[in-house]
Amino acid sequence: MSAKDVNPNGPKHVAIIMDGNGRWATQRNRPRLFGHQAGAKRVRQAVETCPSLGVKYLTMFAFSTENWKRTQSEVSGLMALFRRYIQREANYLHRLGTRVRFIGDREKLDKKLQALMDYLEKLTENNDVTHLTIALNYGARDEVTRATQRLAVEIAEKRLRPEQVNSEVLASFLDTYVLPDPDLVIRTSGEARISNFLLWQSAYAEYEFIDTHWPDFTPEVFASVVARFGGRDRRFGAVKA
């Protein structure tokens, strides 16, 4: 598919819960980290595929605030993978014209990883082909809690009055304040759960729960999910005209 075939009604912002790396690896008698490594390759491919599908914003759930409960070896393996991913992919993503952002509470991540995240954001800050947002140590309740704390400070210090708080003002305190809301949220690997991902932002999103494990999420699978979205009728709570 080429850019000229893009469906104008297709999703502009796709958010993905990348699930099933562990099961994919277990099915192959390999350690879970092998699945995460295979998953990282699909992240690159998904970014490459976005322009031909008309997807301008891609947001990926890489590590949740709940994922710290995994074994210490899996957590440290994932953190090492994120560091290596940024080191290896930074120049390539930049060449593709990808603007990379991170959402989530980065304070709790190790300093080396934080420095790499800052570096990649800075390197790509003027790019505009695809906007890739990686959710790292992200949880929607945590995001809303942190936003509320900052908003409470604004009110306590009298820069904002309580009656000025509306949904736009609250949204401007979220990690995603510069991003449009997702049009389509995809979760791979068969579970029909949101798992604390973009709860506020996805209020009117369409959801696709697909059986494919994340390491099998090819550009063809991506294209077929996006094509299904193009056929849906979205009314945002209104009656069709």
Cβ 22 to ligand FPP shortest distance, Å: 3
Which is closer to ligand FPP, CB of 40 or CB of 109? 40
Which is closer to ligand FPP, CB of 45 or CB of 148? 45
Cβ 195 to ligand FPP shortest distance, Å: 9
Cβ-closest position to ligand FPP = 22
Cβ 202 to ligand FPP shortest distance, Å: 18
Cβ 116 to ligand FPP shortest distance, Å: 11
Whether 43 contacts 72, CB under 8 Å: no
H or E segment at 34?
helix 32-53
Cβ 17 to ligand FPP shortest distance, Å: 8
One-character DSSP codes across 121-180:
HHHTTT--SEEEEEEEEE-HHHHHHHHHHHHHHHHHTTSS-GGG--HHHHHTTSTTTTSP
Q: Which long-range contacts (CB under 8 A, 24 or more apart) does 146-151 make?
A: 146/105, 146/175, 147/173, 147/174, 147/175, 148/173
Whether 165 contacts 132, CB under 8 Å: no
Instruction: Respond yes or no: is residue 128 known to be catalytic.
Output: no
Of 7, 9, 19, 183, the active-site residue reads 19
Rule CB under 6 A: which residues touch ligand FPP? 18-23, 36, 39-40, 43, 60, 62, 67, 81-82, 85, 134, 189, 214
**Structure token digits, residue 223:** 């294209």
Q: Which of 28, 101, 92 is closest to 58 using CA atoms?
A: 101
Q: Which of 203, 209, 186 is closest to 237 using CA atoms?
A: 203
Which is closer to ligand FPP, CB of 39 or CB of 104? 39
Of 5, 7, 29, 67, the active-site residue reads 67
Which is closer to ligand FPP, CB of 40 or CB of 179? 40
Instruction: Respond yes or no: is residue 19 known to be catalytic.
Output: yes
Distance CA 213, CA 231 (A): 24
Residues marked active site are found at 19, 67
